[in-house]
Structure 1
Amino acid sequence: MRILLVLSLTLLFVSCDNFRNSPSIEVVGQMRDVMWKGDLSGKISTDSLSRPNAYGLGPIEYLKGEVLLFEGQTFISKVIDSAVHRVAPVSAVKAPFFVYSKESNLNAISVAPSELSLKSIEELIDSLYFDYDKPLLIRIDGVFKDISVHSVNLPEGRSVSSPDQAHEGLTQFSYKNISGSIVGFFSRKHKAIFTHHDSFFHAHFISDDRSVMGHVDSVLFNSDNTNFKVSK
């Protein structure tokens, strides 16, 4: 009986670990702990992930901005005022939750000519990889007709126990016909862990000139003007 209990517990832990991570994509911390429990301190520092093929995203600890690990380089985005945010490369920053791939294996895929939004990107990946149950890294390079991004900017000293409180100070910025890259992570099993409760996809954008970066709220573009890569 004791042996059966040990085996059952072992299988449970293995199952939970597989739920959280895949061989190439890993997660530290959880979005829901940040949003609902106010667990805002950093759980990982990006200098531990600085490899040429590394990608990752999340917020800065204490919700002071956004983080994007892009080709092994860490970029942060911080709100200056309602009209301006500042993007900068840094050697390291901490995040309260972070999804990342240290050794991405991105492969180009063909996408039929179409106008795509954030939701239709999610639906496209869901349909193309309907039989794959692990997280995927997505990279989309090109020109984006319309895109809105935000950076979190929690006021100093604020506590958090709900998404509304976590988003206090959040500032959105919109752009048209901007060249750059969307980096996103797709998973059907990580809602409230690294994607929002109503989505399979969490993405950040960075412009080619590195002046714009943030969490993607909305996007519209023609697939003819972009290149898709997926880590599978």
Structure 2
Amino acid sequence: MRNVMWFGDLEGKIATDSLSSNTAYGLGPIEYLKGEILLFEGQTFESKVIDSLQHKVEQTASSRAPFFVYSTASDLREINIPKEVFTLKSTENLIDSLYKDYEHPLLIRIDGMIDAITVHSVSLAEGSKVSSPDQAHQGLTKYDYENVSGSLIGFFSRKHKAVFTHHDSFFHGHFISDDRDILGHVDAIDFNSNKVSFSVSK
């Protein structure tokens, strides 16, 4: 992520068709920051901005990313979490507390009804040069939704800030709706734990 944001290294380094097992999950941006990628149960989905009100989600055979975090042999197991409403930050804090003695990255999957969510998709103009996060995020478009059923796939790590999580977070997640109409990087979320299942893979 650092090389993309600060040094403009936008070319794809990894293709998702090399990761296509049914236990594979992963996420990152499309090369040249043309959208978002989610590898979900070995299938590749892309999100691309249409305009300020809508984006397009497509399943594709493969996509290339300049950076990509993934797990190809996931062993997701559902865990019990407190009965309360969670935000993105409180979800991160929960994982941090439950796995305080675990030092390796974790794959997180949350399935169910999401009360509110904000996602974004990057959409850098053709030929743009990048040497800062502000430049990398030119064209980034956010979308807000309520009462959406779907899945959040995320990766948690205390040791990979600016590698596959942002500099101010241990968690990086993408969301896809069950109807495959919504996909994007998760900026904000609210969900009631009574309405979801919460699974973790070490």
Superposition TM-score tier, normalisation by shorter sequence: over 0.9
CA distance in 1, matches of 2:28, 2:2: 13
**Map of 1:45 onto structure 2:** 15
Q: How does 1:68-217 map to 2 (within 5 A)?
A: 68-217=38-187
The structure with the larger Rg is 1
**Map of 2:196 onto structure 1:** 226
Letter of the structure 1 residue corresponding to residue 123 of structure 2: N
Could you tell me which of 24, 36, 39 is aligned with 1:66?
A: 36
CA distance in 1, matches of 2:84, 2:52: 33
Letter of the structure 2 residue corresponding to residue 229 of structure 1: S
CA distance in 2, matches of 1:124, 1:112: 9
Letter of the structure 1 residue corresponding to residue 198 of structure 2: F
CA distance in 2, matches of 1:162, 1:90: 30
Matched pairs, number? 202
CA distance in 2, matches of 1:229, 1:82: 33
Letter of the structure 2 residue corresponding to residue 155 of structure 1: A
Q: Per-residue deviation at 1:45?
A: 0.3
Structure 1 moving runs of 4+ over 6 Å: none
Instruction: Give 3-state SS (helix, strand or coil) of 1:81's partner.
Output: coil
Q: Per-residue deviation at 1:37?
A: 0.3
Unaligned runs of 5+ in 2: none
CA distance in 2, matches of 1:193, 1:98: 9
Unaligned runs of 5+ in 1: 1-30
CA distance in 1, matches of 2:12, 2:124: 15
**Map of 1:15 onto structure 2:** none
CA distance in 1, matches of 2:37, 2:161: 19
Q: Per-residue deviation at 1:139?
A: 0.1
1:131-186 deviations in Å (ceiling 9; x for gaps): 00000000000111110000000011110000000000000001000000000000
Letter of the structure 1 residue corresponding to residue 56 of structure 2: R
| Larger proportion of helix | 1
Instruction: Give 3-state SS (helix, strand or coil) of 1:56's partner.
Output: strand
**Map of 2:6 onto structure 1:** 36
Root-mean-square deviation (CA, aligned residues, Å) is: 0.4
